[in-house]
Amino acid sequence: NAGVMQNPRHLVRRRGQEARLRCSPMKGHSHVYWYRQLPEEGLKFMVYLQKENIIDESGMPKERFSAEFPKEGPSILRIQQVVRGDSAAYFCASSPPETADSNQPQHFGDGTRLSIL
């Protein structure tokens, strides 16, 4: 059973470009969470999605950032017109439906390291 898959592992963009980060949850998982890790900081929650729905986006910057989790395909975190301050590691986690048995609530991917030139 493959874990949470994130790609790319590393992404380099120039200021003003768009960054698209992908996350494929574990099989059977319908909940996806995105976190951002800035240097020397812990992980900060950004957004929580279920299939085709944004449940909680309280941690998302109001501008330039968006997320989706379509019925088919991976979850996408999109950053438009990137700036140097967007440089960070972005982690995706997934969890099963609340009624499912699980010994681990959120499974994390290996992250995407975004660097802005």
By CB under 8 A, name the binding residues for another protein.
Answer: 4, 31, 33, 35, 40-45, 48, 55-56, 59, 91, 93, 95-96, 98, 102, 104-106, 108-111, 113
Q: Which is nearer to another protein, 38 or 81 (CB)?
A: 38
CB of 75 to another protein, least distance (A): 15
Q: Which is nearer to another protein, 10 or 15 (CB)?
A: 10
Query: Are the CB atoms for 75 and 23 separated by under 8 Å?
Result: yes
Q: Which is nearer to another protein, 16 or 55 (CB)?
A: 55
Please spell the DSSP secondary structure of 3-43, one letter per residue: --EEE-SEEEE-TT--EEEEEEPPTT--EEEEEEE-TTS-E
CB of 83 to another protein, least distance (A): 23
Q: Which is nearer to another protein, 35 or 65 (CB)?
A: 35
CB of 52 to another protein, least distance (A): 16
Nearest to 78 by CA among 24, 22, 20, 25: 20
- Spatial neighbors of 105 by CB under 8 A, at least 6 apart, are 95
Locate 93 and state its tokens: 């986690």
